[in-house]
């Protein structure tokens, strides 16, 4: 059985995020909980440069699939970057911002989606 394209995009984006050295990557299904989007990806980056690379790589992956980001925020900053694909929104934080904003707790009612990283140790 094939996944719906939005869910597959969210899983692929979570994998890409993890494979670009983010850690603590969480994929949440917020359908029915959020009127704004279907899936949230929360990730912790290792440096400002790495966080920007993740956002650039996500935008490139999306473009290859005919999807354009509606917006990006925080790309010039160093604590929290967001890329909004409408049905999938990706938040990449540094460690301190992840703890401060606690989106994991805020969206605690959302279902966590199991996904597997392609990362090989």
pLDDT at 117: 61
Residue 108 located in a structural domain: yes
Question: Is residue 116 predicted with pLDDT exceeding 90?
Answer: no
Closest CA to 13 of 48, 49, 60, 52: 60
Residue 107 located in a structural domain: yes
pLDDT at 115: 86
Token digits of residue 79:
């604590």
This prediction has a pTM of: 0.92
The per-residue pLDDT for range 27-67, each reduced to its tens digit, is: 999 999 999 999 999 999 999 999 999 999 999 999 999 99
Per-residue confidence band for 15, with pLDDT thresholds at 50, 70 and 90: very high
pLDDT at 120: 40
Percent of residues, the chain, with pLDDT higher than 70? 94
Residue 117 located in a structural domain: no
Residue 118 located in a structural domain: no
Question: Based on the structure, what is the number of domains in the chain?
Answer: 1
Question: Is residue 118 predicted with pLDDT exceeding 80?
Answer: no
12-38 burial code (b ≥16 CB/10 A, e <16): bbbbbbbebebeebbbbbbeebeeebb
CATH of the domain at 38: 3.30.460.10
Domain carrying residue 36: 5-112
Token digits of residue 69:
């980001």
Mean of the per-residue pLDDT values of the chain: 93
């Amino acid at each position: 059985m094939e996944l719906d394209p939005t869910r597959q995009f969210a899983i692929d984006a979570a994998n890409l995020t993890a494979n670009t050295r983010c850690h603590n990557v969480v994929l949440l299904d917020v359908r029915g909980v959020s009127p704004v989007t279907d899936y949230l990806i929360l990730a912790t980056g290792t440096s400002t440069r790495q966080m920007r690379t993740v956002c650039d790589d996500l935008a490139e992956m999306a473009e290859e699939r005919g999807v354009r980001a509606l917006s990006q925020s925080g790309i010039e900053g160093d604590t929290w970057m967001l890329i909004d694909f409408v049905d999938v929104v990706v938040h990449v934080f540094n460690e301190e911002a992840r703890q401060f904003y606690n989106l994991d707790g805020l969206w605690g009612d959302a279902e966590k989606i199991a996904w597997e990283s392609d990362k090989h140790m």
